[in-house]
Structure formats: C-alpha cells, structure tokens
Amino acid sequence: MLIVAIAFLILLLMGMPVAFAIGISGALFFLQHPELPFTIPVQVTVSQTQNFALLAVPLFIMAGNFMNRSGITERLLELASVLTGRMTGGLAQVSLALSALMGGVSGSAIADAAMQARMLGQEMVKRGFTLGFASAVLSFGAVLTPTIPPGIGMILYGTIGQVSIGRLFAAGFVPAILLWIGLSATVWLTAKRRGYKPEREKRPTLRETAHAFTGGIWAILFPVFLLLGLRTGVFTPSEIGAFAVVYAIFIGVLIYRKMKTRAFLEALEGSLSDVGSVMFLIALSAIFSYGIVLERVPEVVSGLILGITQDLEGVMVLIALFTLAAGFFIDATVLIIMLTPIFLPLIRQLGGDPVHFGMIFLVAATIGNFTPPVGAAMYAVCSILKCPIGAYTRESIPLFAAVAVITLFLVFVPEAVLFLPNLIFG
Amino acid sequence: MNALFMFLRKSEAVLAGTLLLLMVILIFLNGVARMMGHPLNWTIDLATCFFAWGCFLCADIAWRQDGLMSIEILTRRLPPKAARALDYINHMIIAGFLVYVIYAGVWLSWVSRARAFQGMPGVSYSWVTASIVVGGVLLLITTLIRLCSALREDGFVRAPRRKGEASC
Amino acid sequence: QETYTLRFNHVLGPSEPFHQGFLKWAERVKERTNGGLTVEVFHSAQLGVEEDIIEQIRQGANIGQNTDSARLGNYVPGIAVVNGPYFVESYEEAFKLADSPTMQGWQQELADQHGLKVVCFDWVQGFRHFFTNKPIRTPEDLDGLRIRTPPAPIWQESVRALGAVPTAMNFGDIYPGLQQQAVDGAELVYPNITAANLNEVLSHGSETKHILLVNFQVVSSQWFNSLPEEYQTALVEECRTAGQETSAVMQKAEENAKAELVKRGMTIVEDVDLDAFRKAGEAAYEALGLVEAKNKVQSEIRN
Ligand code: NA
Ligand code: NA
C-alpha cells in the first residue's frame, strides 16, 4: 500500500487529473497481488455508480444548475444581500447559513458542497473573494450537513456500534451550532483582515427588504419544501435530490417563467461536465480504498496509538487527531466503517459515552472529505469552480483549525453533546 | 472522420442528458408512487442503471472539456518544455490504463453475464458493467485526440488542412 | 510448507454473533492446520457488496462470502427454495438439509458449472417476523402495508404471498425509511431490531416465523480444489461445527433480543394464525415455479 501511496503522490505532482491518478495508483495494488482477479478495479468502480447513497450527488449538482437558470439563485442572492449586506464576509456567511439549512435535508456533505459551489461559487468570486477562499468556505461549510440530522454517517455509526440513532440525531444539534459559530467567526476574521467590504454601505430600506422577501419567497421555501418532502415520507434522504431538481424546474418554468427551452438545455448541459468530473473521481477512488481495507491499514496504526495512553480524554484526543490525520487520505464513510468497531469498544471499556464519542469521531471523520490530497467534497467544489488545490489548501487552513479546535473542545465538554439527547430521552 | 466525431460528440451529450433527466424522473416517480401505496420497485433499479451509463458518458464529456481536475503545484513551476513532456507521459499512462479498463470490462461483462441485475431473473448485470467499457472506449478516443492535437501543436505531425479538424 | 489465506467477507456488523462465529471458525482452522490456512474475516461488507464478491469468487479469488440461497438461486434456481416461506420450520430441519440428495446435487452444480463451492450452511440466523406499527395476526392484517424486503425476487414474492406490498430497500435505509414513513414495516429477525435500534421507529413485533433464514458460506471451487485435502476437510468440518454453535448462540440471542425489546416497550404479538400464513405462503412457490423443488427437498428431510 506504501507503493500505491507514493505512486499516487508522484502522479498527482506530474499534473495528471486526480481521477486518473487515484485509479491508476490504486490499480498498482493489484499488480502486487496477482492472486486477486484483475477485474476487481473495474468491478468496484462500476459498483460505486450502483451505490444508492451516492445518487444524491449528481441529483444535487443538477439541482444547483437548474436553480441558477430558474431565477431562484438570483432572488436568493438579492435576499442575502439585503440581510447580510452589511455584514463582513456577506455571501460567505450566506453559504454557511445555507449549509445549516441543507443540513436538515441532506445527509451528504459532498452533495451539499457540490450544489452550493454551482449556486454561489462564481457570485462569491465576483464579489471579490479569492477563488481559494470561496472554495474553502463552500467546502468546509458542508461539515454542518452530516452533523445536523439526518446524516448518513450517524446511521452508519449507530448501526455498526449499536448506538441509539435517535440519541445520535439529537446529539448533533449543539455541535452543529458550535461548528457554525466557529466557521462564521473564522470567515469574519479573514474578511476583516483582508478588507473584504460589506456589499452595502447603508442599511436597506424596509421597502427593499420587503421586496427581497416577496421576490425570494420561493427560494426561502426551497429548503422548507425539501424538509416537508422528507418528513412526510414522500422521499427518503437518498431520493430528496430528485425532488430538488423537479422543484427548481417547476419554479423556473411556471412561477418565475424565466426558464425557457434554451435555459433548460443550458442547465442540463452544464450538469453533464460537473457530474462527469465529480462522479468519475468518486467512482475511481473505490480502487484506492480496496487496498487500504484489504491491508487493514487503520487497524494497524490504531493499535500503535492505543499503546500510548489509557486515559479516557487522552484516548479521545488521540483518536480525534488520528482520525483527522487518516482523513487526509481516506474519506469519511470508509473511516467510519473501519474505525468504529476498533475504537468504540475501547471507549466503552474506559467508561466513555458512545454518543459523546460518536459525535467527536463523526465530525473528525467528516473533515476528511474537505482535506487534501484525497477529499470528495473538496474535489467536487474545486472541479466545479476550477480552483487549484494549492490555493484551496492555503485558504482552508484557518477553517480546518477552527473545526479541529471545536472537535477537541467537544472532548472536554461532553455536556455540549449530551445535553440535548439526555433532555429528550432521559 | 471529422463528421463522425462531431456526430459522436453530439449524440453522447444528448444521450447523457437524457439519462440524467430520466434518472431524476424515475426517482421522483418512485417517491410519489410509494406515497400512494403502490411502490414501483423497478424505478430505482432502472435509475441506478442509467446512472452508471450517465456517469461514464459524463466523464468523457468532462475529460474532453478539460473539466477533470488536476494539481498544478509542480507543473506550473517547470520550464514549458518539461511540463509538455510530462503532459505526454500522463496521456500515455492514461491511455494504457484505459486499454486495461476496456479489456477488464469486456472480460468481466462476459464472465459475469449470469449475474442478475438487482436479483431480477433474466436481466443481466452485464448491462451495467458494459457502461464502463463504452465509457472507457470514449475516454480512450478523447485521450488519443488530445495527444494528437498536442503532437500537432508541437509540430510532430502535419497540421490538418482545415482549421479545427479533429482527426490526426 | 505452503500457506494459504482466505479473505472472508460478510455484511453483518462486528457485534453480531455471526461475526464472532466466523472468527471462531477462522481460529480453529488456523490451529488445526498449524497456521497453514488463515481465514481473515471482514465485517460490514468492507471488501465490497455481496454480488461483487460472489463474482470475484467465481473468478477463482481466495475470497469467501456469507450469503443466502436467494442469491445462489441466480445460478442454480432450485436452491432458492431454502429462502421460501415456511420451507424449514426448526433448526433441526435446517441442519438436516445438508443430507438431502437434491441439495447436494445443486451444490455440485454450483461448484462444477459456476465455480462456487458451498463450504457449509449450518448457519441459521433465526426466525423472521413482521415488525410494524400495528399487530399482525392474519395475512389480511398485512393488506396494503409497505414492507421492506431485501432486493431479491424470492423475498418479494414471499412477502407478496403473505399479504403485504414488498418494497425493496437496503438495510441501512430502513431506519430513515421508517422514520419518514417511506415504508410501514420490515420483516427481520429479533437481533436485527436491537442492533439497528429499529424499536425507536417500530412498535409491534408479530411472530409470523415465516422464514427460518439459512446462510451459506461460499468460496471459490478453483481455490478450494487447490488446497491440500486435510485443509479442505478442516475448513468444511470447522465451518459446520462453528455454524451449529453459532446457530445455538443465535437462538439465545433471539430470546435475549426479544426480552430486550419488551423492556424497551415493544409489543410482541404471539397469537398469530400460522396456518393461514402457511397457506398463503404457497403462492410464492407457485409464482416462482419452485413447487416441485420444494416438495422434493421437504420429503427428503421429513421422511
Ligand atoms: Na443532515
Ligand atoms: Na481528505
């Protein structure tokens, strides 16, 4: 697996498209293992496209494209300008708020990041944010999506570790708010330091505000309708993206009457390249994960860690740090499946609370989606916005630090996590 | 040759767009039908099958439009000639990988033809596996075209008679 | 001495009794072959989805999979009967299946024509019941209820025959699916409910006992034939022993899970009209053309 990792880094540095670099280096593993059928790399790549949970990704990418052409995005931006126009870092704050709203709808950080990159990315650059900063905020903001229920990660962790999913859902809210505050403050600081001007000098008039609200009512109702669709059971979390696309088309054609045949075709055409670049990478990354799983890499490394300390808080900190580090190379889903059964029994044995540990672990694992060199949400945002990974990485350091600090804070203040579930479930 | 490529390119986009839209419609219908108490179990199956095809067709569209992301930390700092040489190497490695993907894909489609798609007797999963074969062929064609136009730009092969000609 | 490795994949979680059973099987095989044959167990489908793994096995990989007869039925249709409603009705009957000549013929066909070697199938997962938000006593009570089933024809036909509307869904989608009423219930074994905390979204367990789920341990026949004979024997014999022990653990786990669910507030319905369900279940075999196969095997194990 070491050869695979080195080959991957070399191919990346050679400027090969990341999708091919990850697939080709992953395939090298099979040259080292002639006893494995040579068809596995192809088979696991196809299997990724049959993964129902991943269907949400192309659906939300399409939703983003159709919202842009339906007039929803335009009115949402107008509304945002009225509400946050005098705030430092205006549109970046809007994207965080939107992630929090989408959090109640979608369980997938990748889908949320991809949709928002398409909706808000270019507008943010137009308003003077650097491409790297815009991409980093759009990507890291999606850490809220799986933290606010429903989230695929919580269901996975709860099922593997036999932890109450209802409790985990309830436990997500406070950490989500803390993460929101942390990210928002970081955005504010950066914007202040760089002198990103607020969009408006004057407070908007009541009339302007009212106009923006009535004009943007369908945009505001978008997450509300999605939530309704979800809570009334018409759609499962994996299916809700289809509803989002239909809603955007419906509003664009019938309510705003902005989407004519041409706009419709342009939205669809724009989705093709977006879906291709994002999904091809996610599909090929399965080849890479196969070797990591087969050689039980995380198990080996975690064994070393547990030799260091037996103190509950110390172990939790080490696990959080290890998960963050592993997350550079491994995406959240694989981390959760592999590490939950290794770490959770130990936490239980040391008297830790599985819900408390779960939230820390899930947040730390989710961050893996946003960190280079392997991170699905990062790749989605950067491919859609054509942002160089170097620029993204530089700008994401403060956001990474903020999220990491909050994760560590949760270790030492279990009440922040357990307060709500204890209130609801006793 | 040129007209053929244009036709391929156009039909690829039309097909990929249609597949994505059908996917949306099928998943939407699935939710509505289930709510009305008549779950249509085939809708999701068909949608995921379309997804596989749409995914690899879109991958080729992205590759042709230069939409696949790469990291330029090092290549940006290299002298142009060295960067160009790396570009050739990359394309050749990719072409080799795609030849393997096509070969393994054809082999897998053939040996696992008895595998049922979503447990439906009589519907072979090879219809899904075939998507990576067709996608691989298209990606390989695109890679070769990119390689060709680079060779042409560098004067290794003669420029085409008409501007914008795709073939080498 | 040449050493061999088998990478064994299953979709269940690491705390399920089956996982512990597989580990025990692995340990004893290693011991008996003095480390010559190692079995590495991967839980939670870490190596991949079941169908992919079965194809890898068919291509001769040193990989194994815990599977059910519904999936094996894709290759040899008759064997799917084992997954039908009320096919075997006790653990003893399930263990007797190994001696049925018809079953042995099907296994031979799987190995010779499809490259799939069934190591053993003494792994019984327990009785499946209907879990819903209302009591189920007769097939009529299931009328119009959308019940989640695994995506395979025999499951769908069985659940349809018993009176419900089958709705295919992956295991992981059940919790949110129930919470959001995308489905009205599921048909599972008791320990599934406690493991996935489904009692948080389901109020009633009705003991229809409609399927006694038998699991099959499958490896590549090409790989199996390449093993020294004493290794083959060790693998098969330890599989049977570990399987029967684990089945006994499952029976205990069923009772424990049931008690736990009662404690957690679930209503258990025991006065189910089993005869009515048994009669209704016949329709599934008719729909799949498996009536003859079913009668043949049943007569062989019940003579
Ligand atoms: Na969420
Ligand atoms: Na990462």
Q: Is the pLDDT of residue A1 over 90?
A: no
Residues C168, B118: C-beta atoms closer than 8 Å: yes
Per-domain boundaries in chain B:
2-153
Residues B71, A15: C-beta atoms closer than 8 Å: yes
Distance from CA of C33 to the nearest CA of A (A): 21
Residue A17 DSSP symbol: B
Q: Is the pLDDT of residue A153 over 70?
A: yes
3-state secondary structure of C121: strand
pLDDT of amino acid B167: 52
| Residue C7, CA distances (Å) to A250, A320, C32, C46 in order | 50, 30, 18, 11
Of B51, B57, B90, which to mutate for an interface test with A (greatest number of A Cβ within 10 Å)?
B51
Helix ranges (H only) for A203-331 are 206-215, 217-231, 240-250, 261-294, 297-306, 312-326
Asked whether residue A38 is assigned to any structural domain, the reply reads: no
pLDDT of amino acid A348: 83
Distance from CA of A151 to the nearest CA of C (A): 10
Q: What are the structure tokens assigned to C93, written together? A: 């009957």
Asked whether residue A299 is assigned to any structural domain, the reply reads: no
3-state secondary structure of A149: coil
Chains touching chain B through at least 3 C-beta pairs below 8 angstroms are A, C
| Residue C162, CA distances (Å) to A123, C136, C144, C187, C213 in order | 56, 11, 11, 11, 16
- Average pLDDT of B9-15? 93
Distance from CA of C297 to the nearest CA of A (A): 36
d(CA A161, CA A148): 19
Residues B119, C59: C-beta atoms closer than 8 Å: no
Question: Which residue in chain B has the smallest CA separation from C169?
Answer: B41
**pLDDT tens digits, residue range B52-110?**
999 999 999 999 998 887 877 788 889 989 999 999 999 999 999 999 999 999 999 99
C172 lies within 8 A of chain B by CB: no
Asked whether residue A331 is assigned to any structural domain, the reply reads: yes
pLDDT of amino acid A246: 93
| Residue C209, CA distances (Å) to A300, C89, C129 in order | 42, 8, 5
Contacts of A163 in chain C (CB under 8 A): 197
Distance from CA of C133 to the nearest CA of A (A): 15
pLDDT confidence bin for C195, thresholds 50/70/90: confident
Distance from CA of C87 to the nearest CA of A (A): 30
A212 lies within 8 A of chain B by CB: no
Asked whether residue A211 is assigned to any structural domain, the reply reads: yes
Maximum CA extent, chain A: 72
Residue A376 Cα to ligand 2 middle (Å): 7
Contacts of C175 in chain A (CB under 8 A): 155, 158-159, 165
Residue type, position C98, single letter: A
Task: Please report the ipTM that was assigned to this predicted complex.
Answer: 0.88
| Number of domain units in chain A | 1
pLDDT confidence bin for A157, thresholds 50/70/90: confident
Q: What are the structure tokens assigned to C57, written together? A: 């096995």
Give which of A36, A293, B112, A29 is closest to C61, Cα–Cα.
A36
Residue A112 Cα to ligand 1 middle (Å): 10
Asked whether residue A417 is assigned to any structural domain, the reply reads: yes
Residues C151, B111: C-beta atoms closer than 8 Å: no
Judge contact between A266 and A20, C-beta under 8 A.
no
**pLDDT tens digits, residue range C80-116?**
999 999 999 999 999 999 999 999 999 999 999 999 9
Judge contact between A113 and A142, C-beta under 8 A.
yes
d(CA A351, CA A359): 16
Burial group, residue A261, by CB count within 10 angstroms (0-12, 13-18, 19+): exposed
Judge contact between C220 and C62, C-beta under 8 A.
yes
| Residue A68, CA distances (Å) to A60, A95, A228, A377, C256 in order | 12, 15, 22, 20, 55
For residue B147, how far is the Cα from the chain centroid? 17
Token pair 């107008």 is found at A78
Judge contact between C212 and C278, C-beta under 8 A.
no
d(CA C298, CA C87): 8
Asked whether residue A93 is assigned to any structural domain, the reply reads: yes
Buried b (16+ CB within 10 A) or exposed e, C284-295: bbebbebeebbe
Contacts of A59 in chain B (CB under 8 A): 23-24, 27
Between A36-45, C67-76, C113-122, the lowest mean confidence (pLDDT) is in C67-76
For chain A, the first-to-last Cα distance in angstroms comes to 46
Asked whether residue A9 is assigned to any structural domain, the reply reads: no
Contacts of A390 in chain B (CB under 8 A): 71-73
Token pair 């090929």 is found at A284
Residues C197, A40: C-beta atoms closer than 8 Å: no
3-state secondary structure of A87: coil
Asked whether residue A297 is assigned to any structural domain, the reply reads: no
Instruction: Supply the pTM of this predicted model.
Output: 0.85
Q: Is the pLDDT of residue B32 over 80?
A: yes
Domain span at residue A420 reads 53-278+306-425
pLDDT of amino acid B43: 86
Contacts of C10 in chain A (CB under 8 A): none
Asked whether the CA dihedral A301, A302, A306, A312 is positive or negative, the reply is positive
pLDDT confidence bin for C159, thresholds 50/70/90: very high
Residue A112 Cα to ligand 2 middle (Å): 17
Residues B86, A229: C-beta atoms closer than 8 Å: no
Token pair 């609370």 is found at A353
Contacts of A159 in chain C (CB under 8 A): 13, 171-172, 175, 195-196
Of A44, A54, A236, which to mutate for an interface test with C (greatest number of C Cβ within 10 Å)?
A236
